[in-house]
Amino acid sequence: MTTFSPILLLWYIFPLLVLLVAQVIVKLLSLTKRFQMKAPDLAVPFLLYGIHKLSATTFGTTIFPYFLISLLSLGIGLAFFHAYFYAEIKYGRFFKMYWRSVYLLSLLLHAILVILNIISLV
């Protein structure tokens, strides 16, 4: 059982902070014009680290290896999806769709971990 601390509050709002900082970096470096990058593209590695730390705080052990396996399964599923519906795999479209899907899953898992952590505090 964990107790509430200011560091724990930081992990709760971590995705918002990362997204705001990533948005500033994208605008300052004009990454959208040069590389078609958006703020969520830069935020993914930080969210993965946040998932690791928050799950270690919530459960006493990290669930990151299981999440990594699910991300690899997502990649295989998206490859089959692209092969079936488009009859080919265009790597640019595949990797963009995969990376944005990883962002959405990371954000969803982070929100679930925050809720579970709050429940474990009560």
3-state secondary structure 1-41: CCCCCHHHHHHHHHHHHHHHHHHHHHHHHCHHHHHCCCHHH
pLDDT number for residue 121: 83
C-alpha span between 80 and 31 (Å, rounded): 30
Q: The pTM is what?
A: 0.89
**Can you give the pLDDT of all 122 residues of the chain as single tens digits?**
567 778 888 888 999 999 999 999 999 999 889 888 999 999 999 999 999 999 998 899 999 999 999 999 999 999 999 999 989 999 999 999 999 999 999 999 999 999 999 898 87
In this structure, what token pair is assigned to residue 53?
Answer: 């730390």
